[in-house]
Amino acid sequence: MDVDAWDAATGVSVVVDPQRGARRPVTDYTDFSHLERADQVVAVIPGAGWRAHWKDEGPDSGPLTEQVLAWLVTSKERATPVPVDAHGHTDDAESADRLIPPGDE
């Protein structure tokens, strides 16, 4: 769960409980053990002609190349390519075998 706020009086992190439809301190959960810093997206930049290539993700387990629509830049200074397929669907390309820069064939 994502931390939604911090209790000003106690300093305890607060999350949204979707079943109650209200905020709850994380300490209300019996299985709570710790918080972890999330790698949050801080910027999105255009794909700028980059392409993602997989050796065996295409038809009949053949090659597949898709345009990178955008790059997600995170708070940990990581850039993740987000390609778009022929149907307009997106996903991350972290499993791509190769990222092809603009102008390379």
**Listed residue (58, 57, 51, 54) closest to 84, CA to CA:** 51
* Cβ–Cβ under 8 Å, residues 67 and 99: no
Tokens 């790698």 sit on residue: 39
pLDDT exceeds 80 at position 105: no
Question: Which tokens belong to 92?
Answer: 């991350």
For residue 37, what pLDDT is reported?
80
CA distance 75 to 47: 19
> Structure pTM?
0.65
**SS3 of residue 80 by DSSP:** strand
For residues 76 and 90, the model is more confident at 90
Q: Where are the domains of the chain?
A: 1-35, 41-100
Q: What is the CA radius of gyration of the chain?
A: 20
In sign, the C-alpha dihedral spanning 93, 95, 101, 105 is: negative
pLDDT exceeds 90 at position 64: yes
For residue 15, what pLDDT is reported?
95
